[in-house]
Amino acid sequence: MNAPFTASGALNASFIALAAALVLTACSDPPPPPLPEVTFSVDGNSVSARPFLHCDVMVTKCDKDDKAPATLRIAAGKQVRITVPGEVAESPWSVAVEYKTAAGEQKEPQTVATFVPNESHDYTVALPDAGAQLQTVEVKQAGAKQDPAAAAGDIQLLARAVWSLRVESS
C-alpha cells in the first residue's frame, strides 16, 4: 500500500535532495586557479593576455588556447613595456620579438631578454632600428623536462607557458 502524499513527506524529500547535492558539491574538486596574465603597454594603452600555451612545471601536461594572444596597435619605433605577475617572475622567463626593419627587412624571431628567478617583473622592448615595426612579442616562462635517454637528473628547460602580443601597425 502506498503512503499518502503529505507536506512533511515533500519537505523530507526536498531536504534529502538538497543534502545529496551538497555532498556531491563538497566532494568535487575545486576549480583550478585562474592562469596568470601578462600585461603589454604602449603610450598609456595596455592589454592583458592569457597564456596561449600553459603546461605543468615538468611540461608533461599542456593546454592550448588559440584565442589567448592579445592585440595592440603600435606605431613603428615605439617601445613596449611588459609586466609579468609574481608566479611568472619567480621562475626563469624570457622575451622574444619578431619585427621588420625600417627598410622592410623581415627579421626572424629572436630572444631579446632572459631573466633568472625573481630578477625582474618587467621589461621594455626597444628595437635596434628606430623605424622598425614590431610584429610579435612573446613572453616565455621556463619549465623543466627530464629526458629519459639522458643521464639521471639531466633536465632541459623548455617553455612551459607562452603569452603573445600580436601587433597591428598604425
Which tens digit of pLDDT belongs to each residue from 86-127? 999 999 999 999 999 999 999 999 999 999 999 999 999 999
pLDDT in tens, 44-57: 999 999 999 999 98
Q: State mean pLDDT over 137-145.
A: 91
Contacts of 149 (CB under 8 A, 6+ apart): none
pLDDT tens-digit series, residues 65-90: 999 999 999 999 999 999 999 999 99
DSSP 3-state helix, strand, coil percentages of the chain (rounded to 5)?
A: 15, 45, 40
Indicate the pTM of the whole model.
0.78
Q: Determine the pLDDT at residue 153.
A: 61
Strands of 43-101 (E only): list them. Answer: 45-49, 53-55, 62-64, 70-74, 80-83, 93-100
Q: Which residues contact 11 (CB under 8 A, 6 or more apart)?
A: none
Nearest of 136, 137, 144 to residue 160 by alpha carbon: 144
Cα separations (Å) of 1 from 8, 11, 30? 19, 21, 45
